[in-house]
Structures are given as C-alpha cells and as structure tokens.
Amino acid sequence: MIRVLFVCLGNICRSPMAEAVFRQMVKEEKLETEIEVDSSGTGDWHVGEPPHHGTRDLLAQKQIPYDGLRARQVTVHDWEKFDYIIAMDDQNIKDLRKLKAGNDNIVVAKLMDYVQNAGESNVPDPYFTGDFDYTYKLVKAGCANLLTYIKVVNGL
Ligand code: 4NP
C-alpha cells in the first residue's frame, strides 16, 4: 500500500480539498487497493471540524465526495505511516521540518512541485483569499500530476 498525506495549516480548506480530489482520482483509476489518502494540518485550531463551507460547497459542486472528513493535527507518527507527505506551501514545509527534521526515507514535497506551468509555487489559502475556485484549479492540476508520478515511480 502506498500512503499519501496532504498537509496544510488548518486542515479545513486546502488539504481536505486535495484529499477528496486525489481520492476521487485514485478511485477513477481503480487504485483504491493500492493507494491510501489522508490529510492533516500543522495547526490544531480546527481539530474535529468538517471542511470549511467553501471547500464543502466546491466539492459538492464538482460532485466529489467528502463524507466523514474531520480536521486533525499532523504528528511525528505520520512519518512512519506515510510514503508521501504533500504540503500546500513553504510555511507548511517549515512547520513539518520543525516537527521532524533529518533524512527521511519518504517524500516530503509541495503539491505545486508537481506542476511546472502554474505560475504558483504555493497553493494560495482560500481561508484568506476567499477564492476556492482558483485553489481547486491548482489542487486538481497538482493531484493529477502527483498521481501520474506515483503510478510511474511505483509501477502501477
Ligand atoms: P487551510 O486554511 O490551511 O487551507 O485549512 C486555513 C484554515 C484556518 C486557518 C488558517 C488557514 N486559521 O487560522 O484558523
């Protein structure tokens, strides 16, 4: 099993969006038995909450299921469980490195590292921008390329 964890700050806007979008793509490719998906936040303010209504509305509009998603905070144990920890921005990477530094035998990267022509190296936070559509456009492109990458690297 290949395990993928998406990480943002609050785990209510961007990373649950990425989790839901990526899971849907994995399902469409019939890879649910090969790839497991989760998300978490570096902060703890929203632990236990469902995704932000902006993310819920967007996912509903795209007919992407998000049932049961609840915010949780990332822990050091996630480094033992996951093969790919995919952050939304530079600050997430810094915070993740504070939690666990050193050489890990896993991939810790940003979602936009997988999109070369987006003109963005971070996924803008719609909690502050209010633009969930633009964030979705980037998340969708990132997830599609990440899945292609994981398939190639793991021979799926
Ligand atoms: P997210 O957005 O990291 O994409 O989930 C945020 C959600 C909540 C807060 C910040 C960012 N907050 O400060 O509560």
- Give the whole-angstrom CA distance, residue 27 versus residue 129: 30
Listed by start position, the domains of the chain span: 2-154
Q: What is the pLDDT of residues 28-78, one digit of tens each?
A: 999 999 999 999 999 999 999 999 999 999 999 999 999 999 999 999 999
- Pocket around ligand 1 at a 6 A CB cut-off: 8-14, 41, 45-46, 125, 127
Sign of CA dihedral 155, 123, 127, 98: positive
CATH 3.40.50.2300 is the classification of domain 2-154: yes
CA of 55 from ligand 1 middle (Å) equals 11
The pLDDT of residue 127 is: 98
Q: At what angle do helices 132-154 and 53-61 cross, to 10 degrees?
A: 70
Specify the DSSP class assigned to residue 156: -
Nearest CA owner, ligand 1 atom 6? 10
Is the per-residue pLDDT at 7 higher than 80?
yes
Strand locations in the chain (E): 2-8, 35-41, 84-87, 107-110
Nearest one of 126, 134, 155, 112 to 6, comparing CA atoms: 112
